[in-house]
């Protein structure tokens, strides 16, 4: 039996996929607007333009909808990071530009839907599969950072360790201060401070 926090079934036909996607998008919109607690499956079905029975064919509850949104978030992150990696390896920019590009890209993933991002990372049920996907995304970012550290002759004596610690540190800083900037400071100031800390940590 499938866990209650995962979708009940996956669409196999184009029309079914369209219905599934419409429900997930409606759930994302209402979770973002109203919050997870206040949003209802009836309201999500109505916004998606489907019957509540159609929604329950795919999703037994709101946790399963949140799981599907998490999957969608991971797929988007993977696609964006692949595009970023391709550009960095093509252009081979200096350290400051590398840091700026990476921090800006990670910040964009946090800021696209800030309330939803916090919900997914702080409150959502986190099935084993989703946790593994998120760890794999983090490892792929760290591998990209390691490549550029080695290219630039930085991060010694262990560029792989430096890379993963740097990525974990940046993610924690962005997730905290970026989504909730300290009083008197703007998002731009947070981003600049994160970049400055990275550059200082990697200074030869």
Same structural domain for residues 105 and 149? yes
Same structural domain for residues 25 and 87? no
Q: Rounded mean pLDDT of 28-32?
A: 87
CA distance linking residue 121 with residue 109, whole number of Å: 12
CA distance linking residue 135 with residue 44, whole number of Å: 30
- Residue ranges of E strands in 16-166: none
The enclosing domain of 118 has a CATH number of 1.10.357.10
Q: Rounded mean pLDDT of 153-175?
A: 92
* Per-residue confidence band for 125, with pLDDT thresholds at 50, 70 and 90: low
Q: Is residue 114 part of a domain?
A: yes
Same structural domain for residues 103 and 166? yes
* Per-residue confidence band for 150, with pLDDT thresholds at 50, 70 and 90: very high
On whether the CB atoms of residues 151 and 93 are closer than 8 A, the answer is no
Same structural domain for residues 117 and 138? yes
Tell me the two tokens of residue 192.
Answer: 């600049």
Same structural domain for residues 118 and 91? yes
Q: Rounded mean pLDDT of 146-163?
A: 95
User: Which pLDDT score is estimated for 2?
Assistant: 43
The enclosing domain of 44 has a CATH number of 1.10.10.60
Residues constituting the chain: 204
Same structural domain for residues 52 and 152? no
Q: Which pLDDT tens digit goes with each residue over 54-67? A: 999 999 998 888 88
- Per-residue 3-state assignment (H helix, E strand, C coil) for 151-192: HHCCCCCCHHHHHHHHHHHHHHHHHHHHCCCCCCCCHHHHHH
Taking the alpha carbons at both ends of the chain, their separation in whole angstroms is: 55
C-alpha angle with apex 136: 134 to 139, nearest 5 degrees? Answer: 115
Q: Is the pLDDT at 123 greater than 60, yes or no?
A: no
Q: Rounded mean pLDDT of 9-14?
A: 68
Q: Is residue 8 part of a domain?
A: no
Q: Which pLDDT tens digit goes with each residue over 75-97? A: 888 888 899 999 999 999 999 99
Q: Is residue 7 part of a domain?
A: no
CA distance linking residue 129 with residue 134, whole number of Å: 9
Same structural domain for residues 31 and 91? no
Final residue in a domain of this structure, among 62, 94, 118 = 62
Question: Structural domain of residue 36, as residue ranges?
Answer: 14-62
């Amino acid at each position: 039996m499938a866990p209650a926090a995962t979708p009940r079934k996956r669409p196999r036909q184009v029309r079914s996929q369209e219905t599934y996607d419409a429900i997930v998008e409606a759930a994302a919109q209402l979770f973002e607007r109203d919050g997870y607690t206040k949003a209802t499956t009836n309201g999500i079905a109505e916004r998606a333009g489907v019957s509540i029975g159609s929604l329950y064919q795919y999703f037994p509850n709101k946790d399963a909808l949140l799981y599907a949104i998490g999957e969608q978030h991971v797929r988007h992150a993977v696609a964006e990071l692949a595009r970023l990696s391709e550009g960095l390896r093509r252009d081979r920019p200096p350290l400051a530009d590398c840091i700026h590009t990476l921090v800006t890209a990670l910040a964009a993933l946090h800021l696209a839907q800030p309330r939803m991002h916090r919900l997914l990372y702080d409150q959502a049920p986190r099935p084993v599969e989703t946790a593994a996907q998120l760890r794999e995304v983090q490892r792929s970012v760290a591998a990209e950072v390691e490549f550029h550290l080695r290219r630039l002759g930085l991060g010694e004596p262990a560029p792989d360790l430096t890379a993963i610690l740097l990525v974990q540190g940046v993610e924690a800083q962005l997730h905290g201060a970026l989504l909730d900037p300290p009083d008197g400071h703007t998002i731009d100031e947070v981003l600049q401070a994160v970049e400055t800390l990275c550059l200082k940590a990697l200074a030869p």
